[in-house]
Chain A
Amino acid sequence: SAVISQKPSRDICQRGTSLTIQCQVDSQVTMMFWYRQQPGQSLTLIATANQGSEATYESGFVIDKFPISRPNLTFSTLTVSNMSPEDSSIYLCSVATSGSYEQYFGPGTRLTVT
């Protein structure tokens, strides 16, 4: 399976600032996704990152708050904008290849907003 890395692995940020998280895959993949895992909770899908077009956001998530880029088939970024303590969470990217519903996850970015 693909090797997925995320940067940064963790960060502590002040409220009102923004953080951009990078997801890099060592091979081309068809699909990339961004999830959030709040403390003690399971994963919630934020959006599907589409190469060359706007991301597809799930209910409750909007582009102004979580802008996403996907310039090619191996890289995507998620920005958490105008952060508040409620955004403290683990953010994970995942990938899937053509024809498969199986997804593989990056190691996650642990964000704390103070």
Chain B
Amino acid sequence: RKEVEQDPGPFNVPEGATVAFNCTYSNSASQSFFWYRQDCRKEPKLLMSVYSSGNEDGRFTAQLNRASQYISLLIRDSKLSDSATYLCVVNNLGGRRALTFGSGTRLQVQP
């Protein structure tokens, strides 16, 4: 079983749609959780950290369910510029603070 699992997609959605991505992680001792965005041939960029209480940043909402070891990302009112690969990322290496990346979910927003 992979340490971080994501649906690879692609998700093809029209502009203005709401889309949700899910991610599961295997290590119950994981401490920190993130969503990164990666555009084609670019480096990953931090989109948002994910907290147990859930957090929102504009059109983006992230949720964490520790009991189910599940992370989600909701994007409302999708824009063409949201087209990218979204990486679910977990710190599960304790004090070493290194990250484990999911394989990513590709989103294509269409006009």
Instruction: List A residues at the B interface (Cβ < 8 Å).
Output: 31, 33, 41-45, 48, 56, 58, 92, 96, 101-108
Q: What's the nearest-Cβ distance from chain A to residue B39, in Å?
A: 12
Q: Are B103 and A105 in contact (CB under 8 A)?
A: no
Q: How many residues of B contact A (CB 8 A)?
A: 20
Q: What's the nearest-Cβ distance from chain A to residue B21, in Å?
A: 14
Which one of B12-20, B64-72, B92-100 is at the interface? B92-100
Q: What's the nearest-Cβ distance from chain A to residue B92, in Å?
A: 11
CA distance A33 to B103 in the complex (A): 19
* Given A102-B46, A102-B49, A105-B44, also A42-B97 (CB < 8 A): no
Q: Which residues of A contact B49 (CB under 8 A)?
A: 102
15 sampled A-B residue pairs with Cβ under 8 A: A31-B97, A41-B103, A42-B103, A43-B87, A43-B99, A43-B101, A44-B101, A45-B99, A48-B97, A101-B32, A101-B91, A102-B34, A105-B44, A106-B43, A107-B43
